[in-house]
Structure 1
């Protein structure tokens, strides 16, 4: 039980203060234990941080997978546009994903390599889902484009990344929406039937 409480407290403080601005003392105080008791559950701050990070990563993967498997793909425009708004919603409303997004862009310097490895795993997963979908849509002639599924996946992922940057650094709802709509309009114009 304390382990889960420690992770929740760590998530809260890492999301607010970043890695460097969070102390194990803050986390321990939040849970109502002594700092030294944290070491019964985690080797140290790095291990705690990475476990919270990996759980957030798994939450993102799960949410994206759920979107792809529970939404109707027959209307390509609705599916892809809905996916972009789903990403905005995920990162604005889920505290774990807010933390994940910020740490993906601003990781602790000494954990940069480990964090980027986790981020890459999500990118590869998302690109696989998108490429399979684009291949099906091309085969069924649901979209027309001179580009192949790889290029369409890369272009669409560029929109996703632009939205994530906007969310990570600015998070102004109207600006995120404005950017999403403009990027979508240009992208869709290039692939619609």
Structure 2
């Protein structure tokens, strides 16, 4: 009970204040435990932070598993349809798991500030070389089918992510009540900007 309670409390505090702005005392207060209880489960604040980071990333990955599983099992997929399903899965996941999104933004800032963590595993949770590599196959397929402009896959990826982040930043960060229609309009804007 204490272990899970501590992680839930830490997620809330880290999501608001980031790693450097959070103290073990604040996590303990949020969890209703004493600071010494934190150390009976975790060796340090950084270990707790990293465990939460891994769990948030795993949950996000699981939310898109139906889409990635479909692509792995199907040779002749519609790349536009897959990108749209992926877009909607990520928006849906982070809209429902607001604190995960806020935490992962804080975690990206934390990683960028630490030279020892400045790599793909601990970098921006949406914009990194692994993500670009994943999307590359969809953009390459769409270009080979002559459905989209002949732009670099990296630039196409940034345009795609911009539409996703436009929704998430307004909905999650600024708490603006947006509906599915707004997400669809952003998708359509993205698609119109790259289609031939």
TM-score by length of 2: 0.70
1:70 matched to which residue of 2?
70
Shift, 1:88, TM fit:
1.8
User: Which one has the bigger helix percentage?
Assistant: 1
Cα 1:134–1:37 shift into 2, 3 Å = same
1:8 matched to which residue of 2?
8
Say whether 1:89 aligns with 2:92: yes
Shift, 1:122, TM fit:
4.6
1:132 matched to which residue of 2?
137
Assess if the C-alpha contact under 8 Å between 1:90 and 1:97 holds in 2: no
Structure 2: distance between partners of 1:168 and 1:94: 9
Q: Which runs of 5+ in 1 are unaligned?
A: none
Equivalent of residue 163 in structure 1, options 144, 157, 167? 167
Matched residue of 2:103: which SS? Answer: helix
Structure 1: distance between partners of 2:176 and 2:138: 30
Assess if the C-alpha contact under 8 Å between 1:144 and 1:192 holds in 2: yes
Cα 1:41–1:76 shift into 2, 3 Å = same
- How many residues of Structure 1 are paired with residues of Structure 2 in the alignment? 189
- Deviations 1:125-165 (Å, cap 9, x if unpaired)? 222111112112333x1623232433322322332333343
2:40 matched to which residue of 1?
40
Q: Which runs of 5+ in 2 are unaligned?
A: none
Structure 1 residue runs of 4+, over 4 Å off? 16-23, 29-33, 114-117
Structure 2: distance between partners of 1:90 and 1:16: 19
RMSD: 3.6
